[in-house]
Structure 1
Amino acid sequence: MTETKTWMCLICGWIYDEAQGDPEHGIAPGTPWSLVPSTWSCPECAARKEDFEMVPI
Structure 2
Amino acid sequence: MSEVIEYKSWVCLICGWVYNEKDGLPNEGIPAGTRFADISADWRCPLCDVGKSDFAVVEF
Say yes or no: TM over 0.5. Answer: yes
Paired residues, what number? 57
Partner of 2:9: 6
1:2 is displaced (CA, Å) by 2.2
**TM-score with structure 2 setting the length:** 0.87
Unpaired runs of 5+ residues, structure 2, are none
Q: Which runs of 4+ in 1 moved over 4 A?
A: none
User: What residue ranges of structure 1 are gaps of 5+ in the alignment?
Assistant: none
Larger Rg: 2
Q: What's the % identity of the aligned pairs?
A: 44
Q: 2:19 aligns with which of 10, 16, 19?
A: 16
* TM-score, reference length from structure 1: 0.91
Cα RMSD of the aligned pairs, angstroms, is: 0.9
